[in-house]
A and B are shown apart, each in its own frame.
Chain A
Amino acid sequence: MDFNFMINSFPKLLSVLPITLFISILGALLGLVLAVGVAIGREKRIPVLSPILSLLVSLFRGIPIIVQIYIVYYGLPRLLYYFVQHGKGSGLVLPSMLIGVVAFALNAAANLSESIRSAYHSVDRSQYDAAIAVGLTPYEAVKRIVFPQLVPNFIPNFSNIFLDLIKDTALVYNIGIIEVMGKANILASFGFNYLEAYLDALVIYLVVCFIFAKLLLILEAKIKQRVFA
């Protein structure tokens, strides 16, 4: 074990941590926006649209994220090229970062939409009925009664998915983004110090995930307190 290497590499890995966080946080936020739409679309049982959404969700949930990243990475430029056709081929090189974020957002959207649905179902239907029965409109019933109770139920699942997202960013190294895992590989390759570099990465991922898990737990407790007492 080369402890000097480990100590010297650690700050270098930390310096690319913002990239890891950028991809996972932006992916989660974009995914959340999409997921709300998907969950509403599925719950409303809109003909044609709902079955399509349901198919897309099972598709994204059934394919490893690395495969999704590759397919977006290689497929999206070709798709765009097909639409733009001649002449502009050189302008169609998409930044890896964009592709990474899109892949993560789509993957997160599929998982998050399921969590939103399950959080929605955890609020018993009779409260919605009661709200309708006292004369609230369906929109007000959801906004004032169902939604505030759905949020604290959603956070534990969101936390799981978000932590998975952080850990999965270790894969975007495969499309040339230098984040923590990518940096570790590069630093290690000069002197074959792979174990040392990966141990550094391990510590960073562990601490980051621990911090986010704690933060979300605190958020959940705070919201619960506001909603139920």
Chain B
Amino acid sequence: MALLQVDNLKKSFNNKTVLKGVNLQIDKGDVVAIIGPSGSGKTTFLKSINLLEQPDSGTLKLNDDQLDFSKVTPAEKLKIRRKIAMVFQNYALFKNKTALENITEGLIYGRNVSKDQATQRANKELAAVGLLDKQDFYPAQLSGGQQQRIGIARATALDPEIILFDEPTSALDPELVGTVVDDIDKLARNGQTMIVVTHLISFARRVANKVIFFEDGNVLAFGSPEDILDHPKNERIKQFLSAISKDH
């Protein structure tokens, strides 16, 4: 049985249709890379999965939980969000909280974990990303790479069914990209299910086992990295990949 199934997801902003009926099915342990040109709806799709964007219609099934986007209640939203975690492009750390508190916040107030247990867990996650000594630092005192690794620790601490990554490396200095990619790769090896919107084709090739190509609000292609990235059949994908490779 699929872990996550999204059917016929549609979304428009002010009469402009951004997602035109997207379907997706992923299994436990999948690492799905979503690629495609800017404005194709990748990020909107990602944010629809945990309802940071409210789709107009479609259905979502996560394990045994099912919801209809057109009539979703606040309680259903909360339930889904508490099984999914997210890592943001601009890190989106809570600037009024320390590194440690950034991680405990969701555990204490989103998952009803006791403060002691949450602190213990947060320390473990900070150690895992090598930032235990920065636990009392505020985001403004940390580098972009450090902030993003805390963003990842904040997500993994929640033991989510799925982690959503919205272009996790695109705001980073080129020399910091590697460490963040390593962290995500480590998660993949541990069997963490992830959906990653990215512009880094090398990253998709290295970490993902499935690749989705988005174009104009539709899934143009869905398959293994080899099929999509190495032997693309679609002319549009060939053109996109060659345009990207010229820049890198």
- Residues of chain A touching chain B, judged by Cβ–Cβ distance below 8 Å, are 124, 126-127, 129-138, 140, 144-145, 148-149, 227-229
> Which residues, 139 to 198 on B, are CB-close (under 8 Å) to A?
140, 154, 158
For B, the interface residue count at a CB cutoff of 8 angstroms equals 27
- Check A132 against B96 for contact (C-beta < 8 Å): no
- Check B106 against A134 for contact (C-beta < 8 Å): yes
Residue interface bits B126-141, CB-to-A below 8 A is 1, else 0 = 0000000000001010
Identify B158's interface contact among A124, A126, A129, A135, CB under 8 A: A135
Identify B109's interface contact among A144, A228, A229, CB under 8 A: A144
Question: For B93, B96, B105, B158, which residue has the most chain A Cβ atoms within 10 angstroms?
Answer: B96
Pairs of residues from A and B, 4 with the lowest C-beta to C-beta distance, nearest first? A135-B110, A134-B106, A126-B92, A130-B92
Q: Chain B residues near A134 (CB, 8 Å)? A: 81, 85, 105-106, 109-110, 154, 158
- Check A228 against B95 for contact (C-beta < 8 Å): yes
Identify B86's interface contact among A133, A137, A145, CB under 8 A: A133
B82 close to A (CB within 8 Å)? yes
From DSSP, what is the main secondary structure of chain A's interface residues?
helix
Q: How far is the CB of B84 from chain A (nearest CB, A)?
A: 8
Q: Chain A residues near B86 (CB, 8 Å)? A: 129-130, 133
Q: Chain A residues near B84 (CB, 8 Å)? A: 133
- Check A136 against B96 for contact (C-beta < 8 Å): no
Give Cα A55–Cα B13 distance, bound, in whole angstroms.
26
Q: How far is the CB of A16 from chain B (nearest CB, A)?
A: 43
Measured CB to CB, the nearest residue on chain B to A125 is B92
Residue interface bits B85-114, CB-to-A below 8 A is 1, else 0 = 110101011111100000001100111000
- Check A130 against B93 for contact (C-beta < 8 Å): yes
- Residues of chain B touching chain A, judged by Cβ–Cβ distance below 8 Å, are 47, 50, 52, 74, 78, 81-82, 84-86, 88, 90, 92-97, 105-106, 109-111, 138, 140, 154, 158
Q: Give me 27 A-to-B residue pairs in the complex whose CB atoms sit less than 8 angstroms apart, sorted by A's number.
A: A126-B88, A126-B90, A127-B95, A129-B52, A129-B88, A129-B92, A130-B88, A130-B92, A130-B154, A131-B94, A133-B52, A133-B86, A134-B154, A135-B78, A135-B110, A136-B110, A137-B74, A138-B74, A140-B109, A144-B105, A144-B109, A145-B94, A148-B96, A149-B96, A227-B96, A228-B140, A229-B138
Q: Chain A residues near B90 (CB, 8 Å)? A: 124, 126
Q: Given A126-B90, A135-B111, is A228 in contact with B78 using a C-beta cutoff of 8 Å?
A: no
- Check B81 against A228 for contact (C-beta < 8 Å): no
Measured CB to CB, the nearest residue on chain B to A151 is B96
Q: Chain B residues near A124 (CB, 8 Å)? A: 90, 92
Measured CB to CB, the nearest residue on chain B to A129 is B52
- Check A132 against B81 for contact (C-beta < 8 Å): yes
- Check A132 against B52 for contact (C-beta < 8 Å): yes
Q: Chain B residues near A148 (CB, 8 Å)? A: 96
- With A130-B86, A135-B158 given, name 18 new contacts (CB 8 A): A124-B92, A126-B92, A127-B95, A129-B86, A130-B88, A130-B92, A131-B105, A133-B86, A134-B109, A135-B82, A135-B106, A136-B106, A138-B74, A140-B109, A145-B94, A145-B97, A227-B96, A228-B96
Give Cα A127–Cα B111 distance, bound, in whole angstroms.
18
Give Cα A109–Cα B81 distance, bound, in whole angstroms.
37
Give Cα A132–Cα B82 distance, bound, in whole angstroms.
9
Question: For A130, A140, A227, which residue has the most chain B Cβ atoms within 10 angstroms?
Answer: A130
Give Cα A135–Cα B154 distance, bound, in whole angstroms.
12
Question: For A127, A130, A133, which residue has the most chain B Cβ atoms within 10 angstroms?
Answer: A133
